[in-house]
Structure 1
């Protein structure tokens, strides 16, 4: 399995989420992590233990409505659940064996972004490619004849 593509998927997720303005971005991500908590319900790999996990993730998602930290915790909890399902041989998509493993690689990327407060990666990229006014000003004066 390719280990790089799940990292790319995690980064792309964060980039797409950056299109949503705050505070809606945080709330939308709380809903997403809550939904991720129910991802394994139909497969039922751990039988009735799937239900307390869904309840835990619902609680974490609820707290995530007001806290990026809780959203990050939710993604890490989901990572642990992904690993457990992968080791049991009960993937998130039954027809694709490595999907839980890929999810376990992708989710911590999203969690790290959440622990940073879910910043707009688009704004960050724009800052990298646009020199600051002070740099432009300094460069202009350095190249001006004396």
Structure 2
């Protein structure tokens, strides 16, 4: 499996989410992580244990409505659930054997972004490369006292 592609998917997710203004971005991501908690319900790889996980993720998502930290924590919980399903051989996409492993690689990328407060990556790039900005400090002069 290509390990880079899932990381790119995570970055693309964060870029797309950057199109949503705050505070809607945080709330939308709380809903997304809550939905991710139910992703394995139809496969039922862990039988009735799938239900407490969904309940836990619903609680984390609820707390995430007001906290990027909880959303990040939710993505890390989902990473652990992805790995458990991958090791059990019960992938999130039954037609793609390594789909849970790919999800387990993608989710921490999203979690890191959430732990940083879900900043707009688009705004960060714009600030970094805005016209007139220079990283060359040679043109700054300090006048010697007279």
Q: Map 1:33-52; keep pairs closer than 5 Å.
A: 33-52=33-52
Residue aligned with 2:82, SS = helix
What is the CA-CA distance between 1:39 and the residue it aligns to?
A: 0.1
Greater helix share, structure number: 1
Query: Aligned Cα RMSD in Å?
Result: 3.3
What is the CA-CA distance between 1:62 and the residue it aligns to?
A: 0.2
CA distance in 2, matches of 1:106, 1:21: 23
> 130-139 or 47-56: which moved more?
130-139
CA distance in 1, matches of 2:5, 2:14: 14
Quick one: structure 1 residues 144 and 129, their matched pair in 2 at CA, closer, same or farther if it must change by over 3 Å?
A: farther
State how many pairs are aligned. Answer: 146
TM-score (norm 1): 0.91
TM-score (norm 2): 0.91
CA distance in 1, matches of 2:5, 2:144: 48
> 60-69 or 129-138: which moved more?
129-138
Quick one: structure 1 residues 144 and 136, their matched pair in 2 at CA, closer, same or farther if it must change by over 3 Å?
A: farther
What is the CA-CA distance between 1:2 and the residue it aligns to?
A: 0.3
Post-superposition, which runs of at least 4 consecutive aligned residues in structure 1 deviate over 2 A?
131-146
Which segments of 5 or more consecutive residues in structure 1 lack a partner in the other structure? none
